């Protein structure tokens, strides 16, 4: 394919991210994508989304979608179903964009690596394609940056406050056996990580690590990599708290540095913020992300440097662009297919992220207090 070629694409999974991000982007990017099919097990959902975007085909399964001679597929089904969907698409010879996490076990990622061949496989880490993230990488590469501490703090009320206005369609007509299989796959992944059946808090924490903190681990790996700090990093601490709704991990960095990443789920407060701060000896760089579902709401990058006097401080707010990270990541997917451009969110990177997250989950589970407050 040439860079100007339209990629014949289907969307498999029209739930939250499928409807809120991928379907409108694929439809809007008509110069790059020929959006020909929506596949979802819910007839209510697939028919509504197909009607909304005038998509000619609405089918129940990925196999039906692949039979329409696709070049590529965007996979946005529940996490435990990623591995089977990616492998099915690769076996059909199509390029794959898969939402994070790429899979729920390292063995599944290794299967995908073995099956990839010459196909493009890109993982849905849209924050890596945020214009402000790209600018932060540029600033980190500006001179000899001596990083002391990397901090990532997320306050997340879940998505409802930020998608309520989008008119998302839900369907209660998903086959019950498919729901059971998905739940069984999720439970098996937690057992695989722990070696024993999890309790409710552990099951919730596993989802928080792999479904939420995964974005922050990916972003931290990306930013640290721009400084030549490559993994695997030494895990110093990890925790789960609030019955598994909150999770965190700490890494040791070179030259006695440290990184701390935490994700808090606070559904009672409709406020989202992801703040990423790089504390360096000659500057502080701070990214502040809004909810990813708020369109054209730019991420803030603030840079603080001394001005050469005793108390003087220069504070600069950089506004890179109003462009959407979700749009940029699908444009990058198109470029990789049509021009051979390097994939930024690779399978290899996703594997490193998953290793770090599972290690942190195991350590957090082992470190839980044996008794609750006042119960000793």
What's the pLDDT tens digit per position in 252-306?
Answer: 999 999 999 999 999 999 999 999 999 999 999 999 999 999 999 999 999 999 9
User: Which ranges of 195-240 does DSSP label H, i.e. alpha helix?
Assistant: 200-208, 214-226
Superfamily of domain 7-127+329-346: NAD(P)-binding Rossmann-like Domain (3.40.50.720)
Question: With 0-12 CB in 10 A as exposed, 13-18 as middle and 19+ as buried, what is 314?
Answer: exposed
Residues of the chain with CATH 3.40.50.720: 7-127+329-346
pLDDT at 9: 98
**pLDDT on residue 231:** 83
pTM as predicted? 0.94
Q: Residue 144 — very low, low, confident or very high, per pLDDT cuts 50/70/90?
A: confident
DSSP 3-state of 260: strand
Query: Apex CA 187: angle with CA 183 and CA 191, to 5°?
Result: 170
What tokens does 184 get? 């069984």
Which regions of the chain carry the CATH code 3.30.360? 128-324+353-366
- The domain defined by 128-324+353-366 carries CATH number 2.40.160: no
**Tell me, what DSSP letter sits at residue 15?**
S
Q: What is the C-alpha R_g of the chain?
A: 21
Distance CA 28, CA 259 (A): 38
């Amino acid at each position: 394919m040439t860079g100007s070629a339209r990629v014949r694409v289907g969307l498999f999974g029209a739930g939250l991210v499928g409807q809120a991000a991928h379907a409108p982007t694929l439809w809007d990017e008509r110069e790059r994508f020929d959006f020909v099919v929506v596949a979802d097990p819910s007839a209510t959902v697939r028919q509504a989304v197909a009607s909304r975007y005038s998509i000619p085909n609405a089918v129940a399964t990925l196999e039906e979608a692949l039979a329409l001679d696709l070049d590529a597929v965007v996979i946005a089904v529940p996490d435990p179903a990623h591995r089977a969907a990616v492998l099915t698409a690769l076996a059909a010879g199509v390029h794959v964009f898969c939402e994070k996490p790429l899979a729920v076990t390292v063995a599944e990622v290794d299967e995908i690596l073995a099956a990839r061949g010459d196909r493009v496989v890109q993982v849905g880490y849209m924050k890596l394609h945020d214009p402000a993230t790209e600018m932060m990488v540029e600033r980190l590469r500006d001179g000899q940056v001596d990083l002391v501490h990397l901090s990532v703090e997320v306050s997340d009320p879940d998505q409802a406050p930020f998608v309520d206005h989008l008119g998302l369609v839900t369907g209660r007509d998903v086959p019950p056996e498919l729901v059971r299989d998905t739940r069984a796959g999720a439970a098996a992944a937690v057992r695989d990580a722990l070696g024993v059946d999890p309790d409710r808090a552990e099951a919730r924490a596993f989802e928080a690590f792999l479904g939420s903190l995964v974005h922050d681990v990916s972003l931290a790996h990306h930013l640290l990599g721009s400084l030549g700090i490559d993994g695997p990093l030494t895990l110093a601490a990890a925790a789960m708290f609030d019955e598994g709704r909150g999770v965190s991990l700490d890494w040791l960095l070179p030259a006695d540095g440290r990184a701390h990443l935490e994700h808090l789920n606070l559904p009672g407060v409709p406020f989202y913020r992801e703040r990423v701060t790089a504390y360096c000896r000659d500057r502080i760089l701070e990214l502040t992300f809004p909810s990813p579902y708020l369109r054209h709401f730019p991420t803030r990058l603030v840079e603080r440097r001394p001005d050469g006097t005793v108390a003087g401080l220069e504070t600069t707010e950089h506004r890179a662009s109003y462009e959407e990270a979700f749009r940029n990541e699908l444009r990058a997917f198109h470029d990789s297919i049509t021009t051979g451009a390097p994939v930024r969110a690779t399978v290899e990177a996703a594997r490193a992220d998953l290793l770090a997250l599972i290690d942190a989950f195991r350590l957090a589970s082992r470190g839980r207090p044996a008794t609750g407050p006042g119960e000793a």
